[in-house]
């Protein structure tokens, strides 16, 4: 009889523990809302150039899908820091768009453009940027 009671008690504890664990995992996942249109969004860095004299970065982006995207920020990475610039521009579906970013100091090593869609971004390396005068 005590063996049956012990088995029921252990079963109850395991059941409570597993349901509590699953509930926590679900509640964390429920807090992330990704718009349905963002699930198939895709854009990429197309080309770019940098004018050292005017400290201007020109970046061309290509939207590979028919979904319009909001370009929110560009992050420019240096060996010792990161600087971000607000874009607040639209990138239409299946379109190319040129972005001009002023006051970009020379010496950056890469960059990343973030959109209004979580986890949808485009990156570039300094070696992909052509210097102009």
Any idea what the CATH number is for the domain that residue 125 is in? 2.60.40.10
Same domain, 40 and 28: no
pLDDT recorded at residue 2: 63
Looking at the chain, which runs of residues are DSSP E strands?
Answer: 43-51, 56-63, 69-77, 82-91, 96-101, 110-115, 121-125, 130-132
User: How far, in Å, CA of 10 to CA of 17, rounded?
Assistant: 11
Q: The pTM is what? A: 0.72
Domain total in the chain: 2
Strand partners, 114: 73, 121
88-130 tens-digit pLDDT: 999 999 999 999 999 999 999 999 999 999 889 999 999 999 9
Same domain, 47 and 10: no
Q: What percent of the chain has pLDDT over 70?
A: 74
Is residue 15 pLDDT above 80, yes or no? no
Tell me which residue range forms the domain holding 22. Answer: 1-32
């Amino acid at each position: 009889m005590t063996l049956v009671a012990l088995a029921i008690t252990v079963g109850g504890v395991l059941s409570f523990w597993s349901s509590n664990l699953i509930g926590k995992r679900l509640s964390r996942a429920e807090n992330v809302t990704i718009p349905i249109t963002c699930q198939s969004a895709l854009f990429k860095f197309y080309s770019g150039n940098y004018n050292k004299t005017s400290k201007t970065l020109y970046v061309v982006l290509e939207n590979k899908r028919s979904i319009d995207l909001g370009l929110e920020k560009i992050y420019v990475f240096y060996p010792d820091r990161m600087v971000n610039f607000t874009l607040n521009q639209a990138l239409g579906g299946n379109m190319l768009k040129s972005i001009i970013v002023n006051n970009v100091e020379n010496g950056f090593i890469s960059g990343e453009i973030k959109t209004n869609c979580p986890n949808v971004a485009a990156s570039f390396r300094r070696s992909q940027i052509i210097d102009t005068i």
